[in-house]
Amino acid sequence: MTPPEINSPGYEIPAEIRNQVNITTLDRVYNWSRKNSLWPMMFGLACCAIEMICTAASRYDFSRFGMEVMRPSPRQADVMIVSGTVTKKMVPQIVRLYNQMPEPKYVIAMGACASGGGPFKEGYNVVSGIDKFIPVDVYIPGCPPTPQALLNGLITLQKKVETESIKSARWYGRRPIQPIPIPVLGPDLMDPRKYGEIRELARQKAEAEAQAAAEAAAPAGEPEAG
Amino acid sequence: MTEQTQTTYTPDLAARFPEWVTPDSRPGFSGYLVQREHLLDFCKTLRDDLGYDLLSSVTGVDYLPEGKLEVVYHALQTVGGPMLVFKVQVPRDEAVVPSVVSIWPGAEFQEREAWDLLGIRFEGHPDLRRILMWEGFEGHPLRKDWKEPYFEEEVKPYKSRWPDGQVERIEDRMPLQDNVQYPAGFDPESWTPDGDESLYRGLRKLLEDSGSELKTDRLIVNLGPQHPSTHGVFRMVAVLDGETIVDLKPVMGYLHRNHEKIGERCSWLQNMPFTDRLDYISSMSNNFGYALAVEKLMGITPPERAEYIRVIMAELTRIISHLISIGFLLNDLGAFFTPVLYAFEERELILDIFEAVSGSRMMCNYFRFGGVARDFPEGTLEKLRELIYERLPRKIDELDRYLTRNEIVQTRCEGVGVITAEQAISLSTTGPILRASGVPYDIRRADPYSIYDRFEFDVAVRYHGDVYDRYLLRLDEIRQSIRILKQALKDIPEGPVISGKPQWQVRVPAGESYGRVEGPKGELGFYVVSNGKANPWRYHVRAPSFINLTALAPMARGGKIADVVVILGSIDIVLGEVDR
Ligand code: SF4
């Protein structure tokens, strides 16, 4: 067996050991093994999850690409397929699950909702895309994306994995990777990274309201002022 | 049966209780307006003397111009017949209504929903908390004067969407580039999140006394929202004594996508694709219910061929939904994924047909007011015939052979999660849950719509009310659906598939309407109120799987924690519909 993608040309391998020995780079063999065993997390949010199950089922069968093991626990998963509408009530849990996944980890935003809010974007409980909180590697358009589209997305992710290098991978970096702060449910969804801006916004709103109230009161108080 | 239904006796309640109720005389409206003070007496009489034993739907409407909030109740008799609708009106700034949970316990979640979304307080409700949004959320979003952060205009189509022919993303116009808004002067750092405190407070009371001789501690355990058994983002909080469930509270709203608020901004037809995404496994039958509700208001009926196509689609959907439900039930029993593969195999074949007729596998958006979007393409009927006459009956028998007498299935399912007929009725369950408890209530027979009165089929019913019977009932129903499909395929006439010419903006006269179908999960109802404009004034979905969940705690109490997973599977929920 000599998968073309790991066999590095340029070295002459004697014919008698050609089937047992390959010469390759560490990066390539590392990526090759990783990309063919991407385990998605078993995690469905909405309608798109049904198409994700279809992709796992017999007709489309993504185990052909080394993904048959779906794990409900984030600790054993490599890919988070965000398959559906991300609501404000759910997003703290999604971020927590993401933080619990061990590196290297990837995120696929499946469908219009996960990519940017989708048909329900204007809803008061809907987050306009999961990338507002966690980094996304592959976006798959569609509502829902067909299983073929999901497969295409997963293959795209495999291609991305191929381009990585141990040297520059963030999970081998010297500094620990900081978890993403978990959003808080207040009077509306609050991202801890934006507390300052939220406070400023609320202050401006209060000022505007006070001013409007003053303006409304003024003409009644001093009818001859103008 | 049909004749019986038509002659069902509906008494003139206004004449009978003149000091309690008045007829609702607004044009296009029906039913009764009940005095708030007499609501409970009236309801008790309805239930005990007049046989309206099942309270199907409770919801609210905000009549902002009149300064009123209205609570709308739909009650029905499980012996069949049309619904009875009655309403209570209260001033907007003092929205308090007595809770009917003591009479119909099935109102519990729906009253909580009306509180959450409309701010109607139900006095005497045992556990009035927010249900879809979280505690601490600012405002009651379905009130007409409440504006979401991404508010653009009152109704669609928005002019702001394409300024100067350029697309503009609404985020770019928002101060935080996001879908959020905060009260004036709010300081995030001083905020203490509720953290489900109000939920746990109720449950902690049960922790104190375990009552057993062994000095055991009781535990609170959370399942979900990320849990493989919950079929999506659903959460259960259970109080355990050892492995036994003392009490259990469902927590939902993790997929609350504001269907109704969006629906009230959309035009009538724009809502059709949104209904697909309610119970996303059975989009065709969701379309059906909504189309019926609006057609009732418009006073139109679809042509013959369209009626047949609708029935064919709705029954195929039922088959899909039940197949998936059976597959996942086995999944919940521990037969991981293999039975689901059998279910999905057949589903794919039906989806092929959906894709051929509607262009999409799941989100069909196929029904129109007065018909369906387009006729069958060539070859569809032949494919359907092969499926219905040859393949499906064989496959259902196969499933039956593999599972029904399986020892593990039997021991895990028989006698588990039992509810009696009385409980099922009082908890407002519908669909397979109700019928598996021995109540043969099926809207297709009890209050026939479309052309269901032409077909010969039996209302499947089973009597033990346990998980096993719910499973068997679904198998029975698939067989009955095949029976209906065979008749429909034989009789389907040629002709047009939509009455009049297709319109993107329909005129809907003012009034209210409640359209309901027997969906795969139960009674799927759409309550719509029109004020004659291009958009619905109120658009409410009576979601069967949401209301069926009321029965989850009674089914689970006293059982083992491992069985909860199976019980939930047997209720067969789809979160898109539960949370809407
Ligand atoms: S993108 Fe469409 S199909 Fe997917 S979750 Fe959103 S609404 Fe559902």
Look at residue B531 and tell me if it is in a domain.
Answer: yes
Query: What is the pLDDT, as a whole number, of residue B501?
Result: 78
Distances from the Cα of A60 to the Cα of A158, A159, B348, angstroms: 17, 20, 10
DSSP state letters, B359-406: S-SS----EETTEESSPPPTTHHHHHHIIIIIIHHHHHHHHHHHHTT-
Contacts of A57 in chain B (CB under 8 A): 340-341, 344-345, 348
Residue range A119-136: mean pLDDT, rounded? 89
Walk along chain B (580 residues) and give the pLDDT tens digit of each residue.
444 444 445 667 777 777 788 888 888 888 888 888 888 888 888 888 888 888 989 999 998 888 888 999 999 888 888 888 888 989 988 888 999 998 899 888 999 999 989 889 998 888 888 888 888 888 888 888 888 888 888 887 777 777 677 777 788 888 888 888 888 888 888 888 777 777 888 787 777 765 666 667 788 888 878 877 777 788 888 888 888 888 888 888 888 988 888 888 888 888 899 998 888 888 899 999 999 999 888 888 899 899 999 999 999 999 999 998 988 888 888 777 788 888 888 899 999 999 999 888 888 889 988 888 888 888 888 889 989 998 899 989 988 888 888 888 888 888 888 999 998 998 999 999 999 998 989 888 888 888 888 888 888 899 988 999 999 999 999 999 999 999 998 888 888 888 877 777 888 888 888 988 998 998 999 999 988 888 899 999 999 999 999 999 998 888 888 888 889 888 888 888 888 8
Contacts of A195 in chain B (CB under 8 A): 188-189
Q: Whose CA is nearest to atom 6 of ligand 1?
A: A113
Number of domains forming the structure of chain B: 2
Nearest to B33 by CA among B85, B81, B98: B85
A141 in contact with ligand 1, CB cutoff 6 A: no
Look at residue B167 and tell me if it is in a domain.
Answer: no
Rounded Cα gap, residues A138 and B73, in angstroms: 47
Look at residue B198 and tell me if it is in a domain.
Answer: no
B277 alpha carbon to ligand 1 midpoint, in Å? 7
Rounded Cα gap, residues A140 and B322, in angstroms: 29
Query: What is the pLDDT, as a whole number, of residue B212?
Result: 64
Domain end, chosen from B73, B100, B123, is at: B123
Q: Which residue of A has its CA nearest to B224?
A: A93
Look at residue B355 and tell me if it is in a domain.
Answer: yes
Query: What is the pLDDT, as a whole number, of residue B151?
Result: 83
Q: CB-CB: which of A53, A90, A144 is closest to B254?
A: A90
| Spatial contact of B534 and B505, defined as CB atoms under 8 Å apart | yes
Check whether A25 has a pLDDT greater than 90: no
Q: Whose CA is nearest to atom 5 of ligand 1?
A: A84
Contact A46 B178 (CB under 8 A): no
A117 alpha carbon to ligand 1 midpoint, in Å? 9
Look at residue B201 and tell me if it is in a domain.
Answer: no
Contacts of A85 in chain B (CB under 8 A): 255, 257
Contact B136 A146 (CB under 8 A): no
A48 in contact with ligand 1, CB cutoff 6 A: yes
User: Considering chain A, what is the average pLDDT of its residues?
Assistant: 84
B257: phi then psi, degrees, rounded to nearest 5: -110, 20
Contact B226 A209 (CB under 8 A): no
> Would you state the structure tokens that stand for residue A115, as one six-digit string?
């990519």
Query: What is the pLDDT, as a whole number, of residue B510?
Result: 87
Query: What is the pLDDT, as a whole number, of residue A225?
Result: 42
Helix (H, G, I), strand (E, B) or coil at B21: strand
A144 in contact with ligand 1, CB cutoff 6 A: yes
CATH of the domain at B25: 3.30.460.80
| Spatial contact of A109 and A115, defined as CB atoms under 8 Å apart | yes
Are B524 and B377 contained in the same domain? yes
Residue of A43, A48, A83 to mutate, ligand 1, most atoms within 8 A of C-beta: A48
Look at residue B235 and tell me if it is in a domain.
Answer: no
Look at residue B575 and tell me if it is in a domain.
Answer: yes
Helix H or strand E segment including A91: helix A91-100
Domain end, chosen from B123, B150, B169, is at: B123
Atom of ligand 1 at shortest range from CA of B363 = 3
CATH of the domain at B528: 1.10.645.10
Are B316 and B460 contained in the same domain? yes
> Would you state the structure tokens that stand for residue B182, as one six-digit string?
């905060």
Q: Whose CA is nearest to atom 2 of ligand 1?
A: A143
Domain end, chosen from B93, B123, B153, is at: B123
Range of the domain at B462: 259-579
Look at residue B227 and tell me if it is in a domain.
Answer: no
Are B118 and B267 contained in the same domain? no
Helix H or strand E segment including A138: strand A138-140
Query: What is the pLDDT, as a whole number, of residue B484?
Result: 92
Contact B274 A119 (CB under 8 A): yes
